Structure 1
Amino acid sequence: MAEMDVALKDVMQIEGSIGAALVDHTSGMALGTVGGGKDLDLTVAAAGNTDVVRAKLRAMEMLNLMEKVEDILITLDTQYHLIRPLSSRSGKGLFLYLVLNKDRSNLAMARHQLRAVERRLDL
């Protein structure tokens, strides 16, 4: 999956990136990860954030909202966790997960750049 590896490397070029993953939200498994470290286990984070995505999609279904989720933002003391469900036909059921250092990132720019990576990603 060279395309996925290139996309994850592109995501890590976003200012303040700590780690990133491409995740299957049906299984909770990370298809690929980059970055992270001893303080950020991306496979554990991927599985946990799968529950977040599922809960949001379930809530939207119960509310009869016919819109799509662009991204989900979780703000911590020192980090932003950005979840971007893929909207392409080949990316159905997948999401990009990005962890940013809050002090070193520009959230608006990160969202813009993550959207651009998604558009280029063809699985």
Structure 2
Amino acid sequence: MSNLDVALKDMMNIDGALGAAVVDYTSGMTLGTAGGSRTLDLQVGAAGNTEVMRAKIRTIEQLGLNEGIEDILITLSGQYHILRPLSAQRSTGLFLYLALDRVRANLALARHHLRQIDDELEI
């Protein structure tokens, strides 16, 4: 099992996880996925969230902020979607994408677990 497979498995073990992916935001392609369903197509989500990530990075640059993105939270009526750029891999343009069931998830714990996964993942 690769480090990527372990990371995806760990993401799916977070309470309320519906789907997880590691995404290259330079291309919008996934390096790997876990979970998902007919109503949560991770390939479509990865491509759409790539645009979100690119837009936020562009906005930070245009504002001249000396800040990095820790994570981006998208709150839907029934789900949370968390995008977290890989800190050690920023120059390669990878991010973690986790979709959570809003009723079953603990957002603070999910963010904490994603931070740990980010710290341990080597690609």
- Give the TM-score category using the shorter length: over 0.9
1:1-40 alignment, distance < 5 Å:
2-40=2-40
Structure 1 position 66, deviation (Å):
1.1
Q: Which runs of 5+ in 1 are unaligned?
A: none
TM-score (norm 1): 0.97
List per-residue Cα deviations over 1:85-109 (Å, max 9, x = no partner): 0110487300000000000000000
% identical equivalent positions:
59
Change (3 A) 1:91 1:98: farther
Q: 2:87 corresponds to which letter in structure 1?
A: S
> Match for residue 104 of structure 2?
104
Q: Distance in 2 between matches of 1:99 and 1:57?
A: 21
Partners of 1:88 and 1:61 lie apart in 2 by 19
Amino acid at match of 1:107: L
How far apart, CA to CA, are the structure 1 residues paired with 2:48 and 2:120? 26
Q: 1:64 to 1:53 in 2, by over 3 A?
A: same
Aligned mates of 1:87, 1:75 — CA distance in 2: 23
Is the Cα–Cα contact under 8 Å of residues 19 and 36 in structure 1 kept in the other structure?
yes
Tell me the equivalent position of 2:113: 113
Q: What TM-score do you get using the length of structure 2 for normalisation?
A: 0.97
Amino acid at match of 2:73: L
Q: 2-side partners of 1:42 and 1:2: how far apart?
A: 20
Identify unmatched segments of 5+ residues in structure 2.
Answer: none
- Give the structure 2 partner of residue 67 of structure 1: 67
Structure 2 counterpart of 1:15, which letter?
Answer: D
RMSD of aligned residue pairs (Cα, Å): 1.3
**Corresponding position of 1:49:** 49
- Provide Cα deviations, 1:10-69, integer angstroms capped at 9, x if missing partner: 010000000000000000001100000111000010000000000000000000011100
Return structure 1 stretches of 4+ with deviation > 4 angstroms. Answer: none
Structure 1 contact 90–122 (Cα < 8 Å) conserved: no
Residue 100 of structure 1 aligns to a residue in which SS?
A: strand
